[in-house]
Structure 1
């Protein structure tokens, strides 16, 4: 059983050479995205629309189906029994290691439904690079694979992913779940006018996001991505992912976030790096706060690069975060789950006010 993500050696020449050489295979992602229709509301756990307060479970990189994931969800259930969650955020890499083969893949049961038994509320899911694998696990090169997760929206009471990118309005907060995979894939879609950085898909997503953020009247605007803009962990920050050259390094994602998210949302919540980080005053984000919660099943067992100012960092323990969102304040708590003790420990808490 592998509990840890690749160590910093994965940034080396071998992986870099493989990914650069495999980029030509990006044509496999050359077809357009398909969008599954919304399931009937009666078959699903209802969204708490119009709420004046929401309690949110924040997880990322969870979908292994192994013991560490179960330890994290057991700790989350303890909190849920005392103070029920209204929704959860799944920040991508939902099905390790290479994504589902279709909407009826048994991995949805073993890596999502069973581990989350008892956490019976809507899970707002984002697509990660492992969910879009083509050749090398996590290469992000077969974007159409992610459509199986969109289709699974119609089969699950918990799993909420009506499209590859979407928004959910809950009264006190609006959530904007983005798909940055075309801009951050290790096998970029060079030959596809649909998926290229300036192609149809990203152009539509940008126009949608600009309008949605501009017209949102919610007290809090929260953008969710798999890949972080800022990151002190081994995957690196957008524009420097895994020490790879452009365009494999996520430089197009960096530009997208700076143009369409920075200064327009209160929070940017991301996974990808198997760590927990609360970063502040990130240059380029114009006041938008970067939070990384990607330790729901794996840990990097590494150290911080100290590139960005962090109020809290953990690169060793599994864990998750919670948000208690009211009209005037958001309370964030980071929970650590150790391999040597049951339950979780509140390692950090802070309150943000408008």
Structure 2
């Protein structure tokens, strides 16, 4: 590893990377690739249950797989702490559901997380606080941000405020920093669109909590399909990755190269409700627990889904000419 890469990695792992002036006003972070230019990423969602509902068993397999693949960092697709997020920055659930669960040496890497709807039900700001990063240097959670990893850019999007029903339910949601909602969503959509348009990365991957296309119990999130999906398609996004439905899933787009990947099997699953789907688009569905990995190079992205005992349930890959992104 070059001195340059070593310095960048050190900054990232210790949570000290400072955001520069970001494209489209979204805070921007950097993460280096391996010396050969590749990247290995693990994705988990809907997990934080103090080890119950097989969370600990999933974590065990994540550790084994991350060691084999030499995982560079982990992405969390939200619903990080059940049932109602964290009460404050000192909540013991942070240790009991995160630090004390993902203990494998191979998982002592940077975690990049977004908020899910359950995270908004208590003190959403607690998960965004640098105090948690001081408690565990792996933790980095923000509403929306950009992660540049040289050959790929990840665009993390705060999807919970898009859902109309959360503003009508009896649950109490922490909307600090979101209201007025109309302005918040308008600015966020403009920022994401601008950032995607200006990106020169070979691969563009968008991460959010909520499903955009799903055969699971939650199904499609109609607000995202109406407002966010056209932006992703117009800007040649390769993958949309989410949680929310407690399953593992791969759906292809009928009218664009965009792929929809669900990794929400971090703990409680087996809901038993699956909607019918066009078999030409439904590449894979597993109503159970597990996680997903991405193996990324300049020319190829490989996706694998794993179950709770480490079996590979589904593989998919796509190649791209380097010149196609220039």
Q: Do both proteins adopt the same fold according to a TM-score greater than 0.5, normalized to the shorter chain?
A: yes
CA RMSD of aligned residues (A): 2.4
The 1-side partners of 2:307 and 2:254 are apart by 24
Aligned to 1:160: 140
User: Is 1:330 paired with 2:308?
Assistant: no
Q: TM-score normalized by structure 2?
A: 0.80
Residue of structure 1 in register with 2:323 after alignment:
none
Q: Residues 13 and 138 of structure 2 are in contact (CA less than 8 Å); yes or no, is this contact kept in structure 1? A: no
Q: 1:133 to 1:84 in 2, by over 3 A?
A: same
Distance in 1 (alpha carbons) for counterparts of 2:110 and 2:177: 34
CA distance in 2, matches of 1:320, 1:73: 9
Residues 1:66 and 2:51 aligned together? yes
After superposition, the Cα gap between the structure-2 partners of 1:196 and 1:181, relative to the gap in structure 1 and judged at 3 Å, is farther
Question: Relative to structure 2, which stretch is displaced further, 44-53 or 146-155?
Answer: 44-53
Higher mean alpha-carbon deviation, 180-189 vs 63-72, is at: 180-189
- Tell me what 2:167 maps to: 188
- Distance in 1 (CA, whole Å) between partners of 2:146 and 2:90 is 25
Distance 1:70 1:269, change over 3 A: same
1:348 corresponds to:
314
CA pair 154-262 structure 1, distance change in 2 beyond 3 A: farther
CA distance in 1, matches of 2:258, 2:110: 25
User: In the superposition, relative to structure 1, how do residues 80 and 194 fare at CA in structure 2: closer, same or farther (>3 Å)?
Assistant: closer
1:266 and 2:232 aligned: no
Aligned partners of 1:195 and 1:202 also within 8 Å: no
1:297-349 CA-to-partner distances (Å, cap 9, x unmatched) read 1213314212352111101x310011100111111111011xxxxx3101111
Is 1:114 the counterpart of 2:83? The answer is no
State the number of aligned residues.
Answer: 283
* 2:31 and 2:147 in contact (8 A); partners too: no
Q: How does 1:1-354 map to 2 (within 5 A)?
A: 43-44=14-15, 48-49=31-32, 51=34, 52-67=37-52, 68-118=54-104, 119-133=107-121, 145-151=123-129, 152-161=132-141, 163-184=142-163, 186-188=165-167, 194-195=178-179, 197-199=181-183, 201-239=184-222, 251=223, 253-264=224-235, 265-282=237-254, 286-308=256-278, 309-315=281-287, 317-337=288-308, 343-354=309-320
CA offset digits 1:67-86 (Å, max 9, x no partner): 41111110011112222110
Q: How far apart are the structure 2 equivalents of 1:298 and 1:42?
A: 29
Query: 1 CA distance for matches of 2:196 and 2:111?
Result: 21
TM-aligned CA deviation for residue 258 of structure 1: 2.5
Alignment TM-score, normalising by the size of structure 1: 0.74
Paired with 1:115 and 1:89, the residues of 2 have a C-alpha distance of 16
User: Which segments of 5 or more consecutive residues in structure 2 lack a partner in the other structure?
Assistant: 1-10, 18-29, 170-174, 321-326
SS at match of 1:124: strand
